[in-house]
Amino acid sequence: MESILNISDLGKTYQSAGKILTVLDHISFAVETGSTNAIVGPSGSGKTTLLGLCAGLDRPTTGAVELNGIDLSILSEDKRAHVRNLYVGFIFQNFQLLPTLTALENIMVPLELRGETNIRTRAVDLLDKVGLADRGHHYPAQLSGGEQQRVSLARAFSNRPKILFADEPTGNLDAETAEKVIKLIFDLNKEAGTTLVLVTHDLDLAGKTQRILRIKGGKLVSDNKTNV
Amino acid sequence: MVMENNLSNEKRRLNIPWLFEMAWRDSRKNRSRLLLFVSSIVFGIAALVAIYTFGVNLKKDIDNQAATLIGADLSVNTGKLPDAATQKMLDSLGDRHSQERMFASMVLFPRTQGTRLAQVRALEGDYPYYGNFETIPANAGLNFRENKAALVDQTLMLQYNVKVGDSVKVGKVTFVIEGVLTKAPGQTNIASGIAPIVYIPLKYLDETGLMQKGSRINYSYYFKYDHPVDIEKLTKKLDPRFEKAGLNYDTVETRKENTGRAFGDLTNFLSLVGFIALLLGCVGVASAIHIYIREKIASIAIMRCLGVKAYEAFLIYLIQIVGIGFIGAIAGSALGTFVQHILPIIFRDFLPISVTTDISWGAIGQGVILGVIISVLFGLLPLIAIRNISPLNTLRMSYENINLLRDPFRWMVYAIILLFIATFTHLQIGNWLGSLFFTIGIVVAFLILTIIARLLMFIVRFIIKATWSYPLRQGFANLYRPNNQTIILIVSIGLSTSFICTLFFIQSLLIKQVTIAASTNQANMILFDIQTSQEKPLANFTQKQHLPLLQQVPVVTVRIEKVNGKTAAQTKKDTSMRMRERLFGNEFRVTYRDTLSPTEKVMQGDWIGNTPASGEIPVSMEERFAQRNKLKVGDKLTFNVQGIPINTRIASTRQVNWNKMQTNFLFVFPKGVLEDAPQFHVLMTHVPSKKVSASYQQSVVRQFPNVSIIDLGFVLSVLEDLMDKLGSIIKFMAMFSIVTAIVVLVASVRISKYQRVQESVLLRTMGASRRQILAITTIEYFFLGALSAATGILIAVVGTWLLARYNFDIAFNIDLMPAVALFLGITGLTILIGLLNSRGVLNKPPLEILRGE
DSSP β-bridge partners for residue A199: A39, A167
CB-based contact B334:B400 (threshold 8 Å):
no
Q: Does B598 contact A at CB distance below 8 Å?
A: no
Residue among B44, B242, B247 at smallest CA distance from B737: B44
Which of chain B's residues have a Cβ under 8 Å away from the Cβ of A109? 22, 303, 306
Q: Strands, DSSP E only, in B657-746?
A: 667-669, 679-685, 708-711
Confidence of residue B520 (pLDDT cuts 50, 70, 90): low
- pLDDT tens digits, residue range B89-107? 899 898 999 999 998 888 9
Interface A-B: count of C-beta contacts within 8 A: 100
Query: Which of B10, B292, B296, B305 should one mutate to test binding to chain A, selecting the residue with the greatest count of A CBs within 10 A?
Result: B305
| Strand A211-216 to A36-40 pairing | parallel
Q: How far are the Cα atoms of A228, B685, B746 from residue B531, in angstroms, in the given order?
A: 124, 17, 67
Residue B331 has pLDDT above 90, yes or no: yes
Confidence of residue B576 (pLDDT cuts 50, 70, 90): low
Residues B43-56, mean pLDDT to the nearest whole number: 91
Give CA torsion, residues B349, B353, B359, B364, to 10 deg: -70
CB-based contact B255:B69 (threshold 8 Å):
yes
CB-based contact B398:B390 (threshold 8 Å):
yes
- pLDDT tens digits, residue range A131-161? 999 999 999 989 999 999 999 999 999 989 9
Which of chain B's residues have a Cβ under 8 Å away from the Cβ of A110? 306-307
Confidence of residue B203 (pLDDT cuts 50, 70, 90): very high
| Sites in chain A below the pLDDT cut of 50 | none
CB-based contact B354:B61 (threshold 8 Å):
yes
Residue B149 has pLDDT above 90, yes or no: yes
Strand, coil or helix: B657: coil
Strand, coil or helix: B802: helix
**pLDDT at B398 (0 to 100):** 58
- Helix (H) or strand (E) segment spanning residue B325: helix B310-339
**pLDDT at A105 (0 to 100):** 93
**pLDDT at B397 (0 to 100):** 64
- pLDDT tens digits, residue range B123-132? 999 999 998 8
User: ipTM value of the model?
Assistant: 0.88
Residue B9 has pLDDT above 60, yes or no: no
- pLDDT tens digits, residue range B673-714? 898 888 889 998 988 888 888 889 888 888 888 888 888 777
Tally of CB atoms within 10 A around B565: 10
Confidence of residue B562 (pLDDT cuts 50, 70, 90): confident
B12·A84 Cβ contact <8 A: no
**pLDDT at B113 (0 to 100):** 86
For A99, name the nearest residue in chain B, comparing CA atoms only.
Answer: B299
Residue B5 has pLDDT above 50, yes or no: no
Q: Does A113 contact B at CB distance below 8 Å?
A: yes
- pLDDT tens digits, residue range B588-608? 889 999 988 888 889 999 999
Alpha-carbon span B473 to B484, nearest angstrom: 15
Alpha-carbon span A112 to B717, nearest angstrom: 73
Residues B791-798, mean pLDDT to the nearest whole number: 87
**pLDDT at B399 (0 to 100):** 44
CB-based contact B541:B709 (threshold 8 Å):
no
Residue B491 has pLDDT above 70, yes or no: yes
Length of chain B equals 853
Q: Does A101 contact B at CB distance below 8 Å?
A: yes
Determine what percent of chain B is predicted with pLDDT higher than 90. Answer: 25
- pLDDT tens digits, residue range B237-270? 888 888 888 888 989 888 888 888 778 777 877 7
- pLDDT tens digits, residue range B436-480? 888 888 888 888 888 888 888 888 888 888 788 887 888 888 888
Q: For chain A, which domains are there? A: 3-225 (3.40.50.300)
Backbone phi, then psi, for B60, in 5-degree steps?
A: -65, -45
* Burial class of residue B789, CB neighbours in 10 A (0-12, 13-18, 19+): buried
Residue B760 has pLDDT above 80, yes or no: no
- Helix (H) or strand (E) segment spanning residue B608: none
Q: Which residue has the higher pLDDT, B136 or B466?
A: B136
- pLDDT tens digits, residue range B495-505? 878 877 887 78
Alpha-carbon span B738 to A107, nearest angstrom: 47
User: Which residue in the set B27, B29, B308 is minimally distant from A113, CB to CB?
Assistant: B308
**pLDDT at B853 (0 to 100):** 45
Find how far residue A139's CA is from the centre of its chain. 23
A100·B310 Cβ contact <8 A: no
